[in-house]
């Protein structure tokens, strides 16, 4: 069997961002994304600056509201309310994780569903479960679906296994795939003999944050393997998939870095543009 085709998230994201930039340039108003960051977590700071740079590069406005680690829930909710009521702001995201004294559900619930471009407000979570086109779909699973569709425009009947059940990746990924008529299994840290389950899958989505856990004998010949993981080992970034080994077995594989990560940012910008269009009652 030949090596798997690498699905290049970087170039797909580049194309997508160029398409959004062109649409943005057709309007006199600029889509506007508000990013709320609490505390000084190094990774979050980098993620948010990257989002800001990417938004500005395609002609959007993006402001980071950087709050002290010690901010109270009341103060944070006041900022969210202010952004909800600000007509110039189209999209709001609150960077997770929040410091332990802040309840993420309290905060996410308060983001206006029309501005919830991360799709984490329970209202949008419900719309996704209901397979509503009105749902704002979380950017990482939305980007993964886009990559899968490059190869399989029709996913109907595929067996998909999602490794991980977080609210931001695993669960929305499973819902999206189910909405595409896949047969979906979600496995997690308490699942026994995961490899017996993943070996049945046409599609494996690894989103558990365990470096190189998915080995070649976990996947069947010809599978499509998506690596969501971002792990750091000795200063180097790797995914949840043992890339070199799995590449000999799978038909399609996403790399880390350069796979799901760039697609996530592109999809966040797509959601922000969609929010802008909806709020201004414009057509795409
Ligand atoms: P998370 O909230 O920590 O969730 C991890 C999930 O994996 C949990 O459901 C956990 O199970 C499961 N898990 C842990 N160990 C496992 C094991 N040995 N076998 C099977 N399942 C296991 O993480 P997350 O936010 O979903 O992120 C997952 C990974 O994706 C991380 O590496 C993160 O950095 C990366 N990520 C990348 C992007 C991107 O844009 N590329 C975006 C988001 C996340 P339990 O529920 O039983 O604990």
What's the pLDDT tens digit per position in 69-110? 999 999 999 999 999 999 999 999 999 999 999 999 999 999
- Contacts of residue 174, defined as CB under 8 A and 6 or more positions apart, other chains included, come to 162, 165, 184, 186
196 among known catalytic residues: no
Q: Identify the active-site residue in 48, 118, 202, 227.
A: 118
51 among known catalytic residues: yes
User: What is the value of pTM for the model shown?
Assistant: 0.98
Hey, whose CA ends up nearest to atom 17 of ligand 1? 189
Rounded CA separation 168/259 (Å) = 17
Selection from 94, 107, 80, 103 nearest residue 48 by Cα: 94
Hey, whose CA ends up nearest to atom 30 of ligand 1? 229
Instruction: Name the residue of 13, 48, 228, 265 to mutate for ligand 1: max ligand atoms within 8 A of Cβ.
Output: 228
- Contacts of residue 129, defined as CB under 8 A and 6 or more positions apart, other chains included, come to 175
> Alpha carbon 143 to chain centroid distance?
6
Number of H helices, E strands in the chain: 10, 11
> Alpha carbon 270 to chain centroid distance?
12
Rounded CA separation 144/252 (Å) = 13
Instruction: Name the residue of 46, 168, 169 to mutate for ligand 1: max ligand atoms within 8 A of Cβ.
Output: 169
| Pocket lined around ligand 1, Cβ cut-off 6 Å | 140, 163-166, 168-170, 187-190, 194, 207-210, 213, 228-231, 260-261, 264
Hey, whose CA ends up nearest to atom 4 of ligand 1? 166
**Cβ neighbours around 280 below 10 Å, total:** 12
217 among known catalytic residues: no
E-only strand ranges, the chain: 5-6, 32-38, 61-67, 91-94, 159-163, 183-187, 203-206, 224-227, 231-233, 236-238, 252-253
pLDDT of residue 173: 98
Tokens for 75, please give them.
């103060």
pLDDT of residue 282: 83
Q: Identify the active-site residue in 17, 48, 95, 180.
A: 95
Q: Tell me whether the omega of the peptide bond preceding residue 257 falls within 30 degrees of 0, making it cis.
A: yes
Selection from 158, 267, 136 nearest residue 204 by Cα: 158
Written as tens digits, the pLDDT of the chain (284 aa) is: 689 999 999 999 999 999 999 999 999 999 999 999 999 999 999 999 999 999 999 999 999 999 999 999 999 999 999 999 999 999 999 999 999 999 999 999 999 999 999 999 999 999 999 999 999 999 999 999 999 999 999 999 999 999 999 999 999 999 999 999 999 999 999 999 999 999 999 999 999 999 999 999 999 999 999 999 999 999 899 999 999 999 999 999 999 999 999 999 999 999 999 999 999 988 76
């Amino acid at each position: 069997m030949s090596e798997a085709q690498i699905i290049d998230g970087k170039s797909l994201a580049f194309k997508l961002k160029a398409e959004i930039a062109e649409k943005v340039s057709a309007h006199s108003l600029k889509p506007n994304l508000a990013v709320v960051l609490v505390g000084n977590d190094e990774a979050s700071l980098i993620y948010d600056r990257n989002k800001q740079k990417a938004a500005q590069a395609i002609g959007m406005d993006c402001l980071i509201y950087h709050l002290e680690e010690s901010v109270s829930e009341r103060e944070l909710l006041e900022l969210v309310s202010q952004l909800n009521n600000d007509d110039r702001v189209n999209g709001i995201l609150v960077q997770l994780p929040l410091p332990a004294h802040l309840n993420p559900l309290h905060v996410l619930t308060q983001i206006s569903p029309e501005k919830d471009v991360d799709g984490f407000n329970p209202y949008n979570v419900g719309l996704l479960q209901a397979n509503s086109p009105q749902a704002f779909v979380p950017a990482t699973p939305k980007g993964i679906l886009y990559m899968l569709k490059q190869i399989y425009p029709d996913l109907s009947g595929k067996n998909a296994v999602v490794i991980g059940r977080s609210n931001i990746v695993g669960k929305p990924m499973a819902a999206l795939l189910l909405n595409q008529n896949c047969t979906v299994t979600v496995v997690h840290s308490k699942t026994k003999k995961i490899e017996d389950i993943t070996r049945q899958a046409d599609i494996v989505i690894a989103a558990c944050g365990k470096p190189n856990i998915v080995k070649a004998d976990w996947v069947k010949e010809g599978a499509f393997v998506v690596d969501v993981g971002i792990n750091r080992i000795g200063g180097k970034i790797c995914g949840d998939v043992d890339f070199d080994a799995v590449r000999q077995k799978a038909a399609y594989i996403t790399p880390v870095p350069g796979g799901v990560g760039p697609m996530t940012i592109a999809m966040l910008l797509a959601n922000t543009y969609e929010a802008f269009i909806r709020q201004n009652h414009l057509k795409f």
